[in-house]
Chains A and B, each alone.
Chain A
Amino acid sequence: MAQFGFENDIHSILKLDMPITNAPMARWQRKVSSSNTLALNGLSPGKSANVSQSSSKTPSKTPGKNKKPTPSRIGGDRFIPVRNSKQMDVASFLLSKENEPMDMNNTENQKAWSICLNGYNIEDAKILHLGGKPLNAPEGYQNNLKVLYSQATTPASVKKTRYISSTPDRILDAPELRNDFYLNLLDWSSQNVLAVALLNSVYLWDATQGDIVLLMKMEREEDYICSLAWTKEGSYLAVGTSDCKVQLLHLTQRHIATLCICLAQHGISLPSGSRSGQIHHHDVRVADHHICTLTGHSQEVCGLRWSPDGRYLASGGNDNLVHVWPRVQEGGAGSQSVHCWNEHQGAVKALAWCSWQPNILASGGGTSDRRIRIWNVNSGSCISSLDTQSQISSMVFAPNYKELVSGHGYAHNNVVIWKYPSLTKVVELNGHEDRVLNLTLSPDCSTVATVAGDETIRLWKSFEVDPVKKKAKERLVKSTNSVIHQSIR
């Protein structure tokens, strides 16, 4: 037992939170004992402590109030609070207790809190920094590590150029094809039928079935077909012949008109360009079909194209001019061209309207010009021009990859695909052994057909769409179509 007692003594000495026996009394202990003595002195707890103090230190009564008693005692008009019921000594004890120094346990606690909250003990160290604001990089600097790490897809893979076969998908024979730059002998209908004029016959090649049909043959040996064009729906084929007639064919139906070497159709109005430089508008619905004549070209009209929205008719002539005509109004004779551009230095046969930007027209010049020019029909300005180094015989916009295709005669006799609008060369399609006369796009826009003086028609499958993308696009088109229909109603 004795050694336990000793151990307890050691503990009590080492434990700093125990009261130290021989030390002077702590203030709170003194306070408690003094208040105890006060209590023992006969003051009831109800009696306030400062009353007892006032008896010894401060005068109990103010001098002025010596003679008269306070009115409260006789029920006067003032309220004098009665302090007797307040436990003033308890309150004073509680107040003074707060000023007592913390015991050791508490300081330990505080230190731990300080380290935990501040990461260091405020008592042990101070934190200094060089005055002024924290430094930062010059304004406008963006952390370039972001570029390094947060790129999800590299732009290179997105813009990856597709594979374009350098050989044609198919070659069709076109015997006795008339090798004449001014003729338009090839057109592909929306019903996927390719029409080609071979000397005095028109042949139809059904691209879906692969069947070949002889549609018509001119009776006289010396006559030949100058031009042919499908209507938008692909149900009628207009054929211009050297005997100054335009025939509108629907199997056996025929209309007869004047001499024509190029044709273009949109809706009811069938314009025909002539050797004389005049463009005749025909209303294909009625027997008295001739609506009006547009006079602007001084030489033969070799290129004629409706804009996709049908607002304008573009014509190119052997006089190096490009005219843009407004749509013919009912009975509007002698209408004037909206634009007349004379920048080309050669015959303008190649004309193409942009299918996704209806105000954009591309025109290509002949051997002495060799330039592609892109026009804004709304403003009438030439947006860009490019020297192709070759006679341009025909052009078409390919919407699948937003490209422009041009067919060339002298010197290269090839087909070139250009990126629109940058006009950078995507690919050259070589293979024709003579000048390319015409080219036309298939209805699904995946294939371009070219006919050349080497009596072949070549089909180039250059614009095939990734099937996944195609599906997404079709869905998009469907949804936008429905929106348009709704808004029209």
Chain B
Amino acid sequence: FMKMTCTAKGITLKGSAELVAEFFSFGINSILYQRGIYPPETFTRVTHYDMSLQLTTDPKLKNYLTNVVSQLKEWLFECTVQKLVLVITCLETNEVLERWQFDIECDKSAKESSAPREKSIKTIQDEIRSVIRQVTATVTFLPLLETPCAFDLLVYTDKDLVVPEKWEESGPQIINQSEEVRLRSFTTSIHKVNSMVAYKRIDSV
């Protein structure tokens, strides 16, 4: 997985897309585990970014995440993606309870052929690790999800993008009366990811 990024000293567009896609894969798994959307026994522990992470073993979920992340990687490479949003909804009422938003700023000047940027993978991974640490830490202040929940992944792309097969347009799924918390951001120098979580205000529930 890391071969392409490691051959060069710095980071290429392709390597950057892969790193960011990998971050989303681990990040989404972490959120689903930490927020209890999926049963903890369906996760397995792996070590990545020098930290212990949980990855799902649920075949259906695994397949879904692979599909989304591989498509996302393509869009990252094309620099046509603007946001990735993980929406947690109440299974019964479809009400949006939580919204994890990752704003992606792509440097559109970066091309496949352009020279690698000077930022070591180690530094990028350190930044990513602190973002995932923060995701884990949010459990302490996010309100408890008391009802069974479903989740969806929304990808904001450029307007002119051709919608791939099996993908559909969706609404933004905004939370009515939310509290927002900004998390750390990281950058590969080609893609910058700003993280934020919004949750339904408790007194308005």
Contact = CB atoms under 8 A, between A and B. Distances in A.
User: Which 4 pairs between the two chains have the least Cβ-Cβ distance?
Assistant: A136-B150, A134-B152, A134-B150, A143-B36
A144 B148 contact: no
Given A134-B150, A142-B148, A143-B149, A126 B38 contact: no
Interface string B155-196: 111110101001111111010000000000000000000000
A397 B172 CA distance: 67
Interface residues of A, number: 27
A115 B68 CA distance: 26
Interface stretch (B1-9, B82-90, B107-115): B82-90
Nearest to A117: B174
B155 A124 contact: no
Consensus secondary structure, chain B interface: mixed
Contacts of A117: 174
Interface stretch (B44-52, B59-67, B124-132): B59-67
Interface string A114-127: 00011110011111
A148 B172 CA distance: 32
A149 interface: yes
A163 interface: no
B159 A124 contact: yes
Contacts of A119: 172, 174
Contacts of A118: 172, 174
Interface of B: 35-40, 42, 58, 60-61, 64, 67-68, 71, 82-83, 87, 89, 91, 139, 144-146, 148-159, 161, 163, 166-172, 174
Nearest to A150: B144
Contact of B61 (A123, A129, A135): A135
Interface in A121-174: 123-131, 133-138, 141-146, 149-150
Given A119-B172, A123-B159, A125-B82, A146 B144 contact: yes
A118 B152 CA distance: 17
A130 B167 contact: yes
Contact of A137 (B37, B83, B139, B163): B37
A142 to B, nearest CB: 7
A129 to B, nearest CB: 4
